[in-house]
């Protein structure tokens, strides 16, 4: 009986079911080659000693290569979350499947969390596996391994990034009334943090009197790093930059910890709250 299963075991079982359902779709069939090309291709290319990189780009050790690879993860894996999850709730509501799920003797909170963890696992598992393969490719090229602390930080930050995006995408899917608005809200939030955030930073800097004509001055660098705390992409980069010696954008550890906790709790809690209030 479902009612005899403990909440944690039930959550785990439903999350794995959601993961399998998402993974065995045409969307993942399209996404996986993109992840392979972006993650493995970038790590192999950046770690090649004959690679022609801009003078300001450093790839002298394995973690610096992983940091450069993270730029491609920011594009491919987060886009994967959008592709898989933008209609995760809205589609079920339109098709009537959500009404059937709500009729089951299962807490709406557990159902919402299983949707979240299922979506998160769908993209996170292949991303982390490919990242570990990327580390092997870097070793083949450079004959060096990243330290254990660097590898743990990279895996943790990447997993958190995808969790934040999963929460955001399911939240906007709850707010969408039809498939068109689900696509618009899902892609729009991804574009905001991936491509438009620099413009947002420049506009805010102008409002607060920070010179934006020279983005290399210390005042703008300090301002932009604080603004990036309010972006999942920016926070992801700040977490990784904390292990790099040649960057001046380092923030106090308490700021990074507070931002990480906030991004992990606020969007996911808000999503679950909205989900429990839905009327199928």
Q: Per residue in 120-147, pLDDT tens?
A: 999 999 999 999 999 999 999 989 999 9
Query: Averaged over 22-40, what is the pLDDT?
Result: 92
Which residues lie below 8 Å from residue 34, measured CB to CB, with a gap of 6+? 76, 79, 80
The answer, yes or no, to whether residue 13 has pLDDT greater than 70, is yes
Could you tell me the end-to-end alpha-carbon distance of the chain, in angstroms, rounded to an integer? 25
Residue 272: both structure tokens together: 């679950």
Report d(CA 21, CA 92) in Å as an integer: 13
Is 145 strand, coil or helix? Answer: coil
Report d(CA 157, CA 261) in Å as an integer: 12
The answer, yes or no, to whether residue 234 has pLDDT greater than 70, is yes
Which residues lie below 8 Å from residue 60, measured CB to CB, with a gap of 6+? none
Residue 248 burial (10 A CB sphere; 0-12, 13-18, 19+): exposed
């Amino acid at each position: 009986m479902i009612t005899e299963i403990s909440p944690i075991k039930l959550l785990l079982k439903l999350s794995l079911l959601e993961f399998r359902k998402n993974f065995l779709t045409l969307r993942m069939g399209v996404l996986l080659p993109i992840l392979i090309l972006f993650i493995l291709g970038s790590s192999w290319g950046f770690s090649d000693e004959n690679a022609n990189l801009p003078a300001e780009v450093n790839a002298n050790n394995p973690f610096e290569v992983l940091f450069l690879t993270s730029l491609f993860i920011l594009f491919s894996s987060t886009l994967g979350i959008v592709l898989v999850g933008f209609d995760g709730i809205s589609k079920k509501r339109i098709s009537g499947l959500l009404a059937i799920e709500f009729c089951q003797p299962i807490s709406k909170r557990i159902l919402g969390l299983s949707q979240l963890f299922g979506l998160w696992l769908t993209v996170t598992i292949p991303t982390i596996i490919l990242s570990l393969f990327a580390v092997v490719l870097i070793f083949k090229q450079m004959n060096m391994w990243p330290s254990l602390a660097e590898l743990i930080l990279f895996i943790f930050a990447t997993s958190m990034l995808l969790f934040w995006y999963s929460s955001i995408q399911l939240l906007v899917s709850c707010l969408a009334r039809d498939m068109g608005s689900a696509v618009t809200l899902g892609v729009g939030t991804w574009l905001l943090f991936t491509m438009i955030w620099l413009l947002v930073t420049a506009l805010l800097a102008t409002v607060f009197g920070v010179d934006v004509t020279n983005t290399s001055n210390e005042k703008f660098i300090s301002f932009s790093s604080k603004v990036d705390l309010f972006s999942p992409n920016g926070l992801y980069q700040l977490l990784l930059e904390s292990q790099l010696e040649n960057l001046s954008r380092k923030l106090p550890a308490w700021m990074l910890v507070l931002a990480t906790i906030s991004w992990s709790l606020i969007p996911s809690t808000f999503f679950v709250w909205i989900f429990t209030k839905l009327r199928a």
